Amino acid sequence: MATPSLAMIPSAIADSKVYSVLPNNGDGDFTFNRDSSATRVGQNGLIQTVGFFGSELVTNGDFATDSDWTKGTGWTISGGKANSDGSQTSQSNLFQTGIVPINKTYKATFTIVVTSGSMVLSIGGSNAQPTVSSSGTYSFTSKATSGDSNFYFSANSSFVGSVDNVSVKEVLGDQPRLNYDISNGVVQSCPSLLLEPASTNLINYSQAISNTPVKNGTFVDNAAISPDGTLNATKLTATTTDPFFYQSITFAAATYTSSIYVKGIGDSIGKEFRIAISSFTTAPKLIVPSEWTRFEFTATVGAATATTGIEITDPAIVGDEVLVWGWQVEQQSYATSYIPTNGASQTRAAETCNDAGTASTFNSTEGVLYAEITALANDGTFRNISLNNDTSAQAIRIYYRNQDNKITVLVAFTGGSQSITVDVPNSINFIKIAVKYIVNNVQVYVNGSVAGTITSVAMPTGLNQLDFSIDQNLPFYGKCKDIRVYNEALTDAQLQTLTTL
């Protein structure tokens, strides 16, 4: 079989980039964007956070104890703050050592109260930020280019005031997600590029569920290892025959999905529970499992302020225990990847992945566009992959339709377009699809068989990029294990081999 001119088999990523295997000069790399962090299932089967920021680097940033910080003259820690009393005679530092290695970019956030004088923040010993001389909450982003990898607050000789709520995190940027699916409890060996729309988790406390406003039972946070591999799951112990927890949300007239991870302990395994959106009475009964399982419930509701929550519906025995984690409610017709919250709703930004290739990468006269893909849901939206000339007027398009289990292949050329819609077994199962294009003979192969043919068709001109969208619109939201472009029309036997599952 011919060698593809472009091949992206998800394996290598960087900030704002998804690397292609071919061409190997960088022309085939995709430009990626998501202006927030997001989660994925890692190779170890655990939920991991990817970009936009790394983990917290400061220890004891809330100054809960008089520890972890080195204090210069005039600095003390008390009352949940670091305090400077003005007794210093020159610049006096409050710092932590070795937490900001050079050649990386960091975001520092802190709250300061200034009575007199001023203070300078330094990320790395010689990397000073603007002088702060008035009270408020500040954020600075800077690259540590030199110095001693220490993080400093430097008070001048007259500074009197306090510092609190200090946070320093590495800026990881718009990192793509290589997601590992789990099937029958087994983590799959090959990842897929995961692309999702924006979504907001409306639950205030997705993990520290003891903070849920209304609850019945005893709740202990950080009681067990959760699906992210850390000790942050909440244990619910029944104190009556009807344990529950819920939060009040102002719903728009729309479709919402609630999801949560549940794991039973002892006698609670096999009992029934409900995930409610607006009303417990309409929610189906689910079974408490013996292993961590994500449960989902979708409902369309009217505009109203109502409660959403979890309820154990089996008459519980006092002392029954259930573990819960990762509670999420979002205005979607399906559950998207987990969005952590801690005190307020949080939004994961939409993702784009475009601009792979150049005019020299592709053949506009004939070729094959191939992908191994799945949609996230049958959600009534159009989701495009296109080989194009930076417009929708000249393009080879593969797109999931706004109808269940249907894909359209469209060829747009000077003077018009031709298309065919084919059935696929299920939009949310991976398929292998190939589009062979040549004048008056476009063939669509799905899972090893011919699914449709277009005749009397011209070819587009000036093809110069491969996008997970069409002209930056109707983006592809789904998973991609493999995408390739061949610069020649493959034979029927080759197309059958290429697309056989």
Q: Is the dihedral of CA 483, 484, 485, 491 positive or negative?
A: negative
Query: What pTM was estimated for this model as a whole?
Result: 0.82
- Rounded distance between C-alpha atoms, residue 420 and residue 476, angstroms: 19
pLDDT of residue 352: 97
Question: What does the DSSP assignment read for 150-206?
Answer: -EEEEE-TT-EEEEEEEEEEEE--S--EEE--EETTEE-SS-EEEE---EEE--SBS
pLDDT of residue 430: 96
pLDDT tens-digit profile of 69-81?
999 999 999 999 9
Say if CB 209 and CB 218 are below 8 A apart. Answer: no
Q: Which stretch of 63-67, 245-249, 279-283 has the lowest confidence by average pLDDT?
A: 279-283
Domains within the chain, CATH numbers bracketed = 6-31+355-499 (2.60.120.200), 70-171 (2.60.120.260), 199-348 (2.60.120.260)
- Mean pLDDT over 475-492 rounds to 97
- Mean pLDDT over 336-343 rounds to 93
* CA contacts within 13 A on the Cβ side of 254: 12
Q: Specify which residues 14 forms β-bridges with.
A: 17
pLDDT at 55 over 90: no
Strand 231-237 versus strand 321-330 pairing type: antiparallel
pLDDT at 222 over 90: yes
Rounded to the nearest integer, the mean pLDDT of the chain is 93
Task: Work out the pLDDT band at 157, boundaries 50, 70, 90.
Answer: confident
- Mean pLDDT over 366-384 rounds to 96
pLDDT tens-digit profile of 22-32?
999 999 999 99
pLDDT tens-digit profile of 402-425?
999 999 999 999 999 999 999 999
Strand order in the sheet with 92-96: 70-71, 92-96, 151-155, 119-123
Reference 427, options 409, 403, 444; nearest CA is 403
Task: Work out the pLDDT band at 4, boundaries 50, 70, 90.
Answer: very high
Task: Work out the pLDDT band at 236, boundaries 50, 70, 90.
Answer: very high
pLDDT tens-digit profile of 165-220?
999 998 888 899 999 998 888 889 899 999 999 999 999 999 999 999 999 999 99
Say if CB 29 and CB 361 are below 8 A apart. Answer: no
Task: Work out the pLDDT band at 126, boundaries 50, 70, 90.
Answer: low
pLDDT at 85 over 80: yes
**Higher pLDDT among residues 386 and 55, named by residue:** 386
pLDDT of residue 125: 63
- Mean pLDDT over 362-367 rounds to 97
